[in-house]
């Protein structure tokens, strides 16, 4: 059995899985709020520079922020679906807290990727702001 198979076979209690999903939902909501703030900062640049090179970078960030919001929305949909499943399981079976469930490896992978992309984008944008603010 390789590491990937071992990870996919991990099982956890719902009490471990549910708080993790709630944390991820909070992070996605934070990203959406942060993108709003970054867009406001981008708006400050738009009024200051008419250079095509700067405008191309502004457009790049506008597109990346739109995509980041879409990715957050897609992930939130998946996370809310997982949360709904946990709720249904807990309501249908009071002993569910003592049962082991498959770990949500796919959601964890999506969250890690989402976090890495957002942190990279935010860093790239901060460098852009440092140059043009």
The CATH number of domain 11-132 is 1.10.3470: no
Name every residue whose Cβ is closer than 8 Å to that of residue 61 and which is 6 or more positions away in sequence. 38, 42, 125, 128
Distances (CA, A) of 54 to 20, 25, 75, 131: 40, 34, 31, 10
Average pLDDT, the chain: 87
Q: What is the pLDDT of residue 1?
A: 44
Residue ranges in the chain modelled with pLDDT below 50? 1-2, 4-8
């Amino acid at each position: 059995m390789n590491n990937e198979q071992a990870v996919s076979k991990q099982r956890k209690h719902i009490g471990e899985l549910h708080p993790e999903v709630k944390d991820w939902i909070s992070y996605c909501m934070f990203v959406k709020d942060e993108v709003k703030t970054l867009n406001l900062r981008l708006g400050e640049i738009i009024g200051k520079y008419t250079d095509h090179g700067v405008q191309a970078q502004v457009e790049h960030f506008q597109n990346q922020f739109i995509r980041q919001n879409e990715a957050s929305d897609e992930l939130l949909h998946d996370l809310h679906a997982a949360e709904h499943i946990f709720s249904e399981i807990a309501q249908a079976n009071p002993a569910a807290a003592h049962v082991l469930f498959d770990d949500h490896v796919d959601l964890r992978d999506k969250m890690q990727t989402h976090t890495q992309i957002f942190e990279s984008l935010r860093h790239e944008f901060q460098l852009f702001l440092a140059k043009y603010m």
